[in-house]
Structure 1
Amino acid sequence: MTRDEVLAEFRAAGALLEGHFILSSGRRSGFFIQKMRVFEDPVRTGRLCRALAERVAARFGAVDVVVSPAIGGIVPGYETARALGARAIFVEREDGEFHLRRGFEIRAGERVLVIEDIVTTGLSARECLNSLADQPGEIVGAACLIDRSAGRVDLGVPLVALCEFAVPDYDPRDIPPDLAALPPVKPGSRAIQGAGSRGG
């Protein structure tokens, strides 16, 4: 699956939004990826995750366990694990840090892959990886559907992305005029439902 085909899937799902968005960091962007609009469609999600699994297998070989950070990574982790013939487990926050819970475990000798939905700064992926440091098994790498850093992020392990999609973001005091002319929307708020999904 090519980069354009991946982005076309996100656009078709209404998940690739254009406008003026306030990111969680406080910076501003003209794009926002509403990934759950993709994940609400099992057929589309399966198609993307099978393509990701092909890249994972080509890079890392056999994988025994896929680990994802809750909650955003659970769906793509599960579907990619299905395509790889691997187990799917996840870490979740307890006292502010990721931990394996619910009886999940990694056994000695198992090959482990961390899967994220979208990587931007890589913070949650690194936290997920760090939470597995005392587990037996071998962490072979990480994978994601979209890498917004375009290969610049450093997770400490190799990262395979189905698509690289670098989007500039801006300090709120230094926004380009065309972006400043649009009303800002904070993702996750009700207002985002009114944001457009224009092609381009």
Structure 2
Amino acid sequence: MNVHNHLRLIEHYHQYEKAIKSLMESMMTSIADFKLMHNRDDQVDAIQRLCKHYPFVELIYSLDCNGVQLMDTVCSPDVSYRKRREPGKGQDRNHRPYMVAARQSENKVSVTDPYLSSATFQLAISSVQVITDDKGGEQGYLVLNYNLQRLISYLKGDQARARIHPIFQAVYGVIGGLLIVVSMLLLYAGAESFIQVFDFKKDITTGAFSIVILVTLGLADF
């Protein structure tokens, strides 16, 4: 994704910022459970349920009170750049944007502004839920990570277009390549006709006319 696309996504984020934060908070509240902190199977179940309705959800993991990841990251079935993702267990995420946002917020749920993912170099946002025990003591954090491009597509209702856009790009690339080949062949035919014009056995007017047609078509295709 180039800089222009990043800027466009950030512009869309600010356009939908209020709706995004409200949605993220409701999603976090719906899955907030102390059991998710230490049970990876529960995390797998939670992210699979979320992905059925929210295809932009990518990762879920839990951190202790110091920001250290407790278990390996759980990825959604359709996570982007899966091979670049690290297991994560034991990593200190204390200085990541979502942890900074969580510590600066007075709410139990905090949502980051868009940031560049260190794993994929794509724009992402995260929501963090402070997990407490029955007595209200802080036990750690539950983190959900979202693909910003998919999220914006979801809010705009153009998920299908975003899914098939790479196919259209590939088709246009093939068509463009074929047109270049055709134009080169036409220019070659024009050059060959130009040489044959000097053969006095042939009509010069007809030859010149064919050269003009071939060169014009070749340049038009190119």
Q: Same fold (TM over 0.5)?
A: no
- Which of the pair is proportionally richer in strand? 1
Give TM-score, length-normalised by structure 1: 0.27
Q: Which has the higher contact order (CA 8 A, sep 6+)?
A: 1
